[in-house]
Amino acid sequence: VTGVQTCALPIYDHYGNPDAEIAYTARSPSRAWVLPARYYSFRASGVRFLALDTSMPDEVQLQWAIRTLDEGRKSGDRFVVAYGHHPRVSYGWHGMADRDTATFLDRLLCGRVDVYIAGHEHDLQVLAGACGVPQVITGAAAQLRDTGRGPLTRFASSELGFVWVRIDDRGL
C-alpha cells in the first residue's frame, strides 16, 4: 500500500496516563510518532486501517468501529486491517485475552476484518484467529519470552520482530 508511512500502535499506557501518548503526537519533533486519538481509522489505496484501544474496550468504541467499517465497505474499501495492543488469541506468556477484550474483539472482528495485528506478547505468532480472522502478533521490543503453540497456531517463534504486510492486486 503506498501512501502509508508511519502509524503507532494504539494506546497502551504511559505511567498510568494513556492520554500522554496522544499529547506527545502534538509536540513530537517529527512525524515518526502519530497517535491522533485512543482509536481512529484511516484509508490508504483502498485499504481501511482501524486502530483500536484494546486497553479500554467499550460499547462507544465498538459502535464507532462497526459504523466506520460498514461505511468503508459501502464506499469501496478492498481490505480491512485492524490493529490493537492486545491479541484476542495467544499462546505466549500473557495468554488469551480477558473476557471483556475477547468479547469486544469478537463482536468487532468476526466477519468484518481481513486481518488483526496485535502486540503485547514478546514473540512472533500467526494464528488462524478465534473466528477465522487471521491474527498476527508482532512483539518487537522488550525482553524476549518463550512462546507456545496451540490448535490455531500457523507460525510461532520466540524472537522479537516486526510484521510487514503486502497488499496488492493479488490480495493481502
168 phi/psi in degrees, rounded to 5: -145, -165
6 pLDDT band, cuts 50/70/90, is very low
The two beta strands, 135-138 and 124-127, are antiparallel
Tell me the per-residue pLDDT of 111-145, one tens digit each, with 9 for 90 and over. 999 999 999 888 999 999 778 899 999 987 778 88
* pLDDT score recorded for residue 65: 97
pTM assigned to the model = 0.86
pLDDT surpasses 60 at 13:
no
Rounded Cα–Cα distance for residues 48 and 62 (Å): 16
Q: Locate 23 and state its grid cell.
A: 499529547
Based on the number of CB atoms within 10 Å of its own CB, is 125 exposed (0-12), middle (13-18) or buried (19 or more)?
Answer: buried
Rounded Cα–Cα distance for residues 42 and 21 (Å): 19
Widest pairwise Cα distance in the chain: 45
